[in-house]
Amino acid sequence: MTTHSNTPAGWYADPQGTPNLLRYWDGTQWTEHTNPGQVPQQQGGGNAWELNVSRTPDPAKVQHQVQQQAGVSPTGFGGGTLFSEPVLVVNQKAKLIELVNEYSVFDQHGNTLGSVVEVGQSTAKKVLRFVSSVDQFLTHKLEVRDAHGTPHLVLTRPAKFIKSKVLVQRANGEPLGEIVQQNAFGKIRFGFMYNGQQIGAIKAENWRAWNFAIVDHTETEIARITKTWEGLAKTLFTTADNYVLQIHRPLQDPLLSMVVASALTVDTALKQDSRGLG
């Protein structure tokens, strides 16, 4: 079966689920060539089809990412949580094949604050995601967890056709609002909607949607998302997307959760669309 997958050629777990059997993917289709072997596993479990090439983050590299790559000046320590730090560093786990979205979140000094993990994907959906580009049309649900693994937010991006929408809820199911894409062409803009009212927005600063300004209902900038460059080889051959969120002043809910959610979902909501932005 020929596909348009961007997955590089190599040995991967047999898609039919045969234990400890590797099958060769030639870059466009599965071949008849198989080999017995140990299927690559993610640290701590995960899906056997994904080859995770992430390493333990180096605090010095995170600081370089913040100060040199994103141009964010060092500030004092915040409260040490996802919702009390002035700077969040959101780094997607680098994988040659991405079947489940995963991100690590750090403060500006390289301390781990939490993670974002996709949940609720069936095996069939993972197979479809591997062999095709229809992933953009599927529903995605992400859990935002603190450093202890406790969920705080659930972010759901329903299946989309042209425009994206992200539903933001607390872990107990209490709705906090929606992040709604407002246009499909030009500089992409998302509105923060709460009880039918727009309380802010996230605005791409160019058509490639690399960097975003976040504004409140008065169009005053309250935060900024900057994509940081991982180097040509890593960007071309893995799925890693890394961002730095800088919050300019203390915020209150629901706007605070919407701002944090926007930084954690910008990749899922916008970058993985058919235009190949990123």
Same domain for 141 and 252? yes
Question: What is the share, in percent, of the chain residues with pLDDT greater than 70?
Answer: 62
Q: Domain for residue 192, yes or no?
A: yes
Same domain for 192 and 61? yes
Which pLDDT score, from 0 to 100, does residue 276 have?
A: 38
Same domain for 10 and 91? no
**Model-level pTM?**
0.70
Same domain for 74 and 191? yes
Q: Domain for residue 71, yes or no?
A: yes
For residues 35 and 76, give the distance between their C-alpha atoms in angstroms, rounded to a whole number: 54
Q: Which residues, other chains included, contact 4 with Cβ-Cβ below 8 Å and sequence gap of 6+?
A: 28, 132, 133
Q: Domain for residue 30, yes or no?
A: yes
Q: Domain for residue 46, yes or no?
A: no
Same domain for 160 and 93? yes
Please list the residues that pair with 193 across neighbouring strands.
178, 198
Which pLDDT score, from 0 to 100, does residue 97 have?
A: 40
Same domain for 80 and 105? yes
Summarize pLDDT for 94-108 with one digit per residue, the tens. 543 444 567 889 999
Q: Domain for residue 213, yes or no?
A: yes
Same domain for 153 and 226? yes
Q: Domain for residue 278, yes or no?
A: no
Instruction: Give, for 51, the enclosing helix (H) or strand (E).
Output: none
Summarize pLDDT for 170-197 with one digit per residue, the tens. 999 999 999 999 987 888 899 999 999 9
Summarize pLDDT for 71-102 with one digit per residue, the tens. 888 877 789 999 999 999 988 765 434 445 67
- The pLDDT of 33-49, averaged and rounded, is 50
Residues 175/156, Cβ–Cβ less than 8 Å: no
Same domain for 34 and 156? no
Same domain for 32 and 94? no
Whether the predicted pLDDT of 214 surpasses 70: yes
CATH of the domain at 101: 2.40.160.200
Which pLDDT score, from 0 to 100, does residue 228 have?
A: 83
pLDDT band, residue 20 (cuts 50/70/90):
low
Domain range for 27 is 1-39
Which pLDDT score, from 0 to 100, does residue 178 have?
A: 95
Residue 213 Cα distances to 50, 66, 106, 231, angstroms: 33, 16, 20, 24
Q: Domain for residue 277, yes or no?
A: no
Strands (E), the chain: 10-13, 21-25, 30-36, 87-92, 102-106, 112-119, 140-146, 151-157, 165-170, 175-181, 189-194, 197-204, 212-216, 221-228, 242-247
Same domain for 60 and 4? no
Q: Domain for residue 276, yes or no?
A: no
Same domain for 28 and 96? no
Same domain for 8 and 144? no
Q: How many domains are contained in the chain? A: 2
